[in-house]
Structure 1
Amino acid sequence: MGKNSRERHKAKRKAAEAAHRRRGAGKSGPDDPSSPFGEPHVPSQRRIAEQIIEQAIHAQHRQETAELARCRALLTTGPGGTTGIQVVNRALLACLLREVERAWRCGWQPAELARMARREHTAQHGRLMVDAIAAQMRGYSRATVDQRWQSQLSALDAQVWWEHDDHYVAARGEREGLDRAAMIAATIEVLHLLATLPQIESVGPMPGTTVSAEASPRADLDQRLITRVRALLAKAESTDFPEEADAFTAKAQELMARHRIDHSLLVARTGERDKPATRRVSIDNPYEAPKTLLLQVVAEANSCRAVWMKRFGFTTVVGFPADLESTELLFTSLLVQATRAMTQAKPGIDRNGRNTTRSFRQSFLTAYASRIGERLSSATEEVDREATASAGAAQLLPVLAARDDAVRAAFERQFPDLTQRATAVSNRAGWASGRAAADQASLHGRQPVAHE
């Protein structure tokens, strides 16, 4: 046997011994480069596709442009040719479904996920997110889906419209007018968004759980009262006379404040279990900060606490269910009134000839919110005084104090570390106009907006 042959045999023996030692140590498996028979393990196309997707998400997160482009190209062509394209399609949708479910377990709801996709990227990304939500919902019986979720799904029109999951990427691309490479890029961006969403407070049971009567929205705010309040607010929104708008809005707040007191006394007498809940209200650009301030003062007037989560574009409100309903109803109406008054007011030109529309409107809405807070607090305090006189301070005040304490405790548990940030006011004309509009159209200084 020649020298070269002896060296080859020696190398083979060493390789075999090394493989035997690995198997003896229990290291053989799907990722072991050597099978029990000495054959190399070849990952499946599906596993290769999943690995490339994971690498693409990590590259997106680390902003590694070259690596991200490489992964996108591999996903576009598919591992192994034509059959690999369908494998990639299936793997991408499966990843989307897993990440959607993870987001739900972290407290996110369907409408919030779709909104985040639109907010962070584009409307196309939002539609992609809705499709992923619809696909994930196929695994749940309607009986295990909370009514609030069903309402969101209906509003999103979340439904599976494509014929087969293997063809989803191509079908969505055709609808959007995007080629495969662009669809792959958008899908990776949505996956990265889902993978980086933080844990937030859950505001209801996720699909797949038993929906009990307690989990469903309670009729804390009497439907007849809701109808009356909405009618008053609709009149406030539609009238061209500021004094009428003021009267209608004040009356609506009075009705809701009286209901809060009556309901609190009823719960105290019956011993009914009642506890604070959480609701998230979307706040859209432009002028997010003063809009959030308006929601905050409305929440405080209705015995709720609110915090603005700026990155996500929503405000979390904590309070008892009836008070949350009152807060959202009144905020929605006041925002309509404020927007109408703001657009009717005419900003000027500064001494340098620059358009002051943005600073004017920012200051207008901030002043409006500040003054509305004063008016609502005054109206609520008047109702409280009358109720205390009629029901007796010894009976009513401990009940209201206990409920305030419960809301404060629930709020602080969710948001133990908050910062206060003042909303800047730089346009005196806008401030004066906004305050005047608040005095006339509906019900000082800087008001702090809570941030997480």
Structure 2
Amino acid sequence: MTGTVDRAFRAALYADDDTALDTGASLLAADPATDAELARRGAEFVAQAWRRGWQPADVVRIVRRELDDTHVRLATALIRAQAGDDRPRGPRWTAQLAQLSEAEEADGNTPRPDRFTHATAVLELYRLLLRLPALEPLEEPREPRREHRGDARMLGRIRALLAKAEATGYPEEAEALTAKAQELMARHSVDEALLDARAPAKDTPGACRIGVEPPYEQAKAVLLDAVATANHCRAVWNEPFAFSTVVGFEGDLAAVELLYTSLLVQAQSAMATAEAAQRAGGRKRTKTFRQSFLAAYAHRVGDRLRAAAEAPVTVDLLPVLASREVAVTDRMEQMFPQTTTTRLRGVSDEAGWTEGARAADRAQVGNRPRLSPRPE
């Protein structure tokens, strides 16, 4: 069986043509005894991806982008199967595995195709996994993060506010709910900083990857960068693999994920409404309209978030916040010693820009409150 798998791999994994793929799939389909060895090799490819810096959500994202749902299901099953033999990797990794479990259960009734079709999909997936390049490692701290009292409750309140902001059909209500959520994020971040400053062993900055999917990924990356900066984090966009790496302290990383997701949902809802109004006025909307809309939305939200971040805090807080900012910058520069800037392309529709800016005004997040340290 090992020899059959080796011959199939030599035929299919190192060539891009369909004939080679068909040859490899035919060898596997004709020999049912290869199934166990094929699964074992898949687990090796997954483990190799982890050694190259990839994480479960990253692999699923790139498989979904490059292949199709069949391959996503295969990748999910491989990752879950390999997890039992893997070392513990931290809570963020565990949460990604849990999300994969939920997705696999939802797809549990999908029938398995014939052996040749299945073998073809497996080889296509393995070929992609084999060619994954190395990424910056996102190792989680060896010691588990200290859970400060109120963490879960605070983040639960923020999630609830943002969910309501996404669901409401009233712009003014969405504005008020999002503003309150950002206020809680600011308070939570400063409280975390103060508690960490007093702790015997201080937390260190971590990092996570957040998907920045096409279309209009440039504007989305700008929006994520604005949200990250406002919440004491730094973001570096990887365009080829459709994600940004966000560096910061754990509580701030969670806030960035929540707020970015919410603002993106609100932006897309507002864009659909704006397009409907444009069509009702007899004007055809295009891809350029949507690109300009999201670019303006990201730019305007960024202005408001920067204003919120620059709101004054008490003098006592400045050294604490400054030391954490230095720590985040140092970690980012260690991970990414060389970065470049890029310019937004395709922003030429005046109506799209105007409507996007208006939508950002309705989704404003308010100013940060004036905060002072907690009493001892």
- Rounded to whole Å, the distance in 1 between the matches of 2:11 and 2:263 is 48
- Rounded to whole Å, the distance in 2 between the matches of 1:154 and 1:327 is 21
Instruction: Look up the match of 1:299.
Output: 228
In the superposition, the TM-score normalised over structure 2's length comes to 0.85
- Rounded to whole Å, the distance in 2 between the matches of 1:105 and 1:418 is 23
- Rounded to whole Å, the distance in 1 between the matches of 2:146 and 2:250 is 8
- Rounded to whole Å, the distance in 2 between the matches of 1:310 and 1:127 is 24
Relative to structure 1, the CA distance from residue 76 to residue 234 in structure 2 (aligned partners, 3 Å threshold; closer, same or farther) is closer
| 1:109-146 Cα distance to aligned partner (Å, 9 max, x none) | 223222222211000001111121232234358xx464
Q: Contact between 1:46 and 1:87, CA under 8 Å: does it hold in 2?
A: no
The alpha-carbon deviation at position 251 of structure 1 amounts to 2.5
Q: Contact between 1:130 and 1:156, CA under 8 Å: does it hold in 2?
A: yes
The alpha-carbon deviation at position 323 of structure 1 amounts to 1.1
Relative to structure 1, the CA distance from residue 329 to residue 160 in structure 2 (aligned partners, 3 Å threshold; closer, same or farther) is closer
Instruction: Look up the match of 2:195.
Output: 266
Give yes or no for the alignment of 1:150 onto 2:94: yes
- Rounded to whole Å, the distance in 2 between the matches of 1:221 and 1:159 is 30
Q: 2:308 aligns with which of 364, 370, 379?
A: 379
Instruction: Look up the match of 1:326.
Output: 255
Across the two proteins, how many residue pairs are aligned to each other?
A: 359
Instruction: Look up the match of 1:54.
Output: 10
Relative to structure 1, the CA distance from residue 187 to residue 219 in structure 2 (aligned partners, 3 Å threshold; closer, same or farther) is farther
- Rounded to whole Å, the distance in 2 between the matches of 1:278 and 1:138 is 24
Q: Contact between 1:230 and 1:329, CA under 8 Å: does it hold in 2?
A: yes
Pair member with larger Rg: 1
AA at the equivalent of 1:437: A
Alignment of 1:27-106 (within 5 A): 45-59=1-15, 63-77=16-30, 85-106=31-52
Relative to structure 1, the CA distance from residue 372 to residue 97 in structure 2 (aligned partners, 3 Å threshold; closer, same or farther) is same
Alignment of 1:25-424 (within 5 A): 45-59=1-15, 63-77=16-30, 85-139=31-85, 144=88, 146-157=90-101, 175-176=111-112, 178-204=113-139, 214-215=143-144, 218-219=147-148, 222-346=151-275, 348=278, 355-382=284-311, 385=312, 387-388=313-314, 392=315, 395-424=316-345
- Rounded to whole Å, the distance in 2 between the matches of 1:416 and 1:181 is 46
AA at the equivalent of 1:196: R
| 1:295-325 Cα distance to aligned partner (Å, 9 max, x none) | 1100011111112222222211001111111
- Rounded to whole Å, the distance in 1 between the matches of 2:239 and 2:190 is 33
| 1:325-362 Cα distance to aligned partner (Å, 9 max, x none) | 1111111211121111111002758xxx9943321111
The alpha-carbon deviation at position 242 of structure 1 amounts to 2.5
SS at match of 1:312: coil
Relative to structure 1, the CA distance from residue 342 to residue 188 in structure 2 (aligned partners, 3 Å threshold; closer, same or farther) is same
The alpha-carbon deviation at position 363 of structure 1 amounts to 0.8
AA at the equivalent of 2:26: A
- Rounded to whole Å, the distance in 2 between the matches of 1:216 and 1:264 is 14
**Percent identity among equivalent residues?**
43
Q: Contact between 2:227 and 2:256, CA under 8 Å: does it hold in 1?
A: yes
Instruction: Look up the match of 1:8.
Output: none
- Rounded to whole Å, the distance in 2 between the matches of 1:138 and 1:361 is 44
Q: Contact between 2:62 and 2:241, CA under 8 Å: does it hold in 1?
A: yes
Q: Contact between 1:302 and 1:326, CA under 8 Å: does it hold in 2?
A: yes
AA at the equivalent of 1:200: L
AA at the equivalent of 1:397: L
Larger RCO (CA under 8 A, 6+ residues apart) = 2
The alpha-carbon deviation at position 404 of structure 1 amounts to 1.2
SS at match of 1:148: helix
- Rounded to whole Å, the distance in 2 between the matches of 1:330 and 1:113 is 24
Give yes or no for the alignment of 1:429 onto 2:351: yes
Relative to structure 1, the CA distance from residue 260 to residue 153 in structure 2 (aligned partners, 3 Å threshold; closer, same or farther) is closer
